Amino acid sequence: MTVGVVVFARLDSRRLPGKVLAPVAGRPLLGRVLDRLRRVRAADALIVATSDRPGDDAIAAYAEGEGIDVFRGAGDDVLGRARACADAFGLDALVRVSGDSPFIDPDLVDAAIRVHRDEGPDLTTNVFPRTYPQGVSVEVIAADALARIAAAVNDGDDREHVTRYLYRHPDDIRIRNLSADGPPAFDVRLTVDTAEDLARADWIAARAPGDPADLTLDQVIDLARRWHAGNAGARPRVVASIAARMNATRLPGKVLADVGGVPALTRLVRRLRRARRIDAMVLATTDDAADDVLADWARREDVPCYRGDAVDVLGRVVAAQRMMGAEVAVRVNADTPLIDPALVDRAVGVFTVGVCDVVTTTRPHSYPQGVDVEVVRLADLEQVADTVTDPAVREHVTLHFYEHHDRYDVLALTAPVRLRAPDLRLQVDYAEDLELVRQIYARLEPAHGDDFGIAHILELLKQEPALRDINRHRSEKAVR
C-alpha cells in the first residue's frame, strides 16, 4: 500500500489571508508543518497540494524550495484536488493534513498509517469523536473511497471539506476512529485561523529547547495551556453553547429540519463559525435516546457535544461550557439558523470591554427575533446554577439576570435604524417559521452561500413583502 501525506494549503484563507507563509518563530508556518511531517516514518511520500491559481504560486515555489513534491489543482474543488493528487502520485491512501497545523504530531500520523495498513478501512481518523487538540487532525483516506465520494458529491461545502461526506454516511463507509490514550485535550487549540492563533504558535515554537519540530504533543499541549493562562487576562476564552433537543413542543425535530438540503442546525453552525470572536462552540443536548441523533450529528460536524438532563437546561449548558474550558459563555438558540455572525462578534466585543454583566439582543428586541445572542461570564452563570432552583430559570438559562437588575448590569444592544425589525420572526418555532427560513435561503444562498446577514434579509423582505405574511400571525409565548 502506497501512502502519501498531503498538506493542503492556500493563501486566500477567509479569516487570516497569507497565514501559511506567515512567520512562526522565524520560519514560515508551512515550513513548521513540513519540519514535523519529515519525521513521519510510515509514509511513502510527502506532498503539498495547492491550487492552480496564480495567487498560490508562492506556496508552490516555497514547497519546491524545501525539496517537497507539489501538486496543483482546482482552487474551489478541494475534494477534486485530493483525488487528482492521489491519482497523480499513484497513492493507495492519502493522509490529509491542513497547512495551518504547525504542531501536527508525526507519531500520531505514523500510528494512523499503521492502523490503516493493518485494518484497511475507508477512513482512519482522530477527528470524530475529537479527543485530541484542534490542529493535530489526521485523516487517512483510501484512494478508492476518495474516488467514490468525488463522483457522488456535488455540494460545494462537502467538496471543500473533503471528508465531511464520509462522516455523514457511517453506514456506507468503514471508519476507524483513533482516540487519545490519556485525558481528552479537545479544548486545546493548536490550529492557526486567526492572528491570535498565530501569536500562540509563535510563542510555543519560540520556547522549544531545541528544534520546535522535536516537541512532543504533550509538551506542545502544556505550552499551549501556559500561553492561555498567561494571556487569560487580556482575552478570555469565549465559547458558544447551543442547547438543542429533538422533542420540541411546537415543532418536533425542527433543529434538524431540512433547509435547502442542509439541516437547520448545520446552517446555524456554519454561520457561527464565521464569528471571529468565538473560540469554540459546543452542543448541549440531552441524554434521552431521542437525542442520539443529535449526538451523531455533532460527531459528523466536528462539534463537541455534552449530554445531560433534559429538563435542567441551565445545568446542562453550564456543564457543557465547563467541559470546554470557557470563561465567557455565549448563549445561542438552536432554532436560529439565520443568526448573524457580525452581531455575535458585536455582542462579544461589547461584553469584553467589561462594563456590564450581560450583553443581550433580546430584552428588549430591536433586531429581528431569531438572531438572538446573549453573553455572560461563566462564573455568573455557574453561581445561578448552584443557587437557583426556580424551574423557569432552570429552563430558560438567563432569565435570572433579567429579573434581578439590582444585582446585574444588563446591556441591551440596540439595532441601528437600518437593521431595526423587532416584530420580524426569523426563529423556527412553527411550520410557518420554517417555511419563511427556507424561502430566505432559497433566494439568498445562490448569491451569498451562508454568508448573508440581517441587512440582506431585510432588503429581500423589502423587495418581496409577501414573504413576511408567511408567519406574521405567529407570536412568541411569554416565559412566565
The 10s digit of each residue's pLDDT in 3-28 is 999 999 999 887 788 999 999 999 99
What type of residue is 465? Answer: P
Sheet with 175-177: list strands edge to edge: 69-73, 45-51, 3-8, 93-98, 139-142, 123-125, 175-177
**300 with 278: CB under 8 angstroms?**
no
Q: Is the peptide bond before 416 cis (omega within 30 degrees of 0)?
A: no
Tell me 127's DSSP state: T
Q: What is the pLDDT of residue 111?
A: 96
Residues of the chain with pLDDT under 70: 232-234, 479
Burial track 174-205 (b if 16+ CB lie within 10 A, e otherwise): ebbbbebeeeebbbbbbbbbbebbbebbbbbb
Exposed/middle/buried for residue 409 (C-beta within 10 Å: 0-12, 13-18, 19+): exposed
Residue where the block lists cell 475529537: 130
Grid cell of 470 as nine digits = 408567511
For residue 210, the SS3 value is coil
Burial track 307-322 (b if 16+ CB lie within 10 A, e otherwise): bbeeebbbbbbbbbbb
Q: What is the pLDDT of residue 234?
A: 57
Rounded Cα distance between 214 and 32, Å, is: 11
Rounded Cα distance between 64 and 61, Å, is: 5
Q: What is the pLDDT of residue 69?
A: 97
Q: What is the pLDDT of residue 233?
A: 54
Give the domain ranges of the chain.
3-199, 238-470
Q: What is the pLDDT of residue 406?
A: 80
CATH code of the domain occupying 3-199: 3.90.550.10
Helices 313-323, 378-387: axis angle to 10 degrees equals 140
Architecture of domain 238-470: Alpha-Beta Complex (3.90)
Closest C-alpha to 433, from 338, 297, 366, 341: 338
Rounded Cα distance between 43 and 271, Å, is: 37
Beta bridge partners of 50: 72
Beta bridge partners of 71: 49
238-470 shares the fold of 3-199: yes
Give the C-alpha distances (Å, rounded to integers) separating 109 from 32, 37, 117.
15, 8, 12
Q: What is the pLDDT of residue 232?
A: 56
**326 with 237: CB under 8 angstroms?**
yes
**Alpha helices in 288-377, H assignment, sequence order:** 292-301, 313-323, 341-352
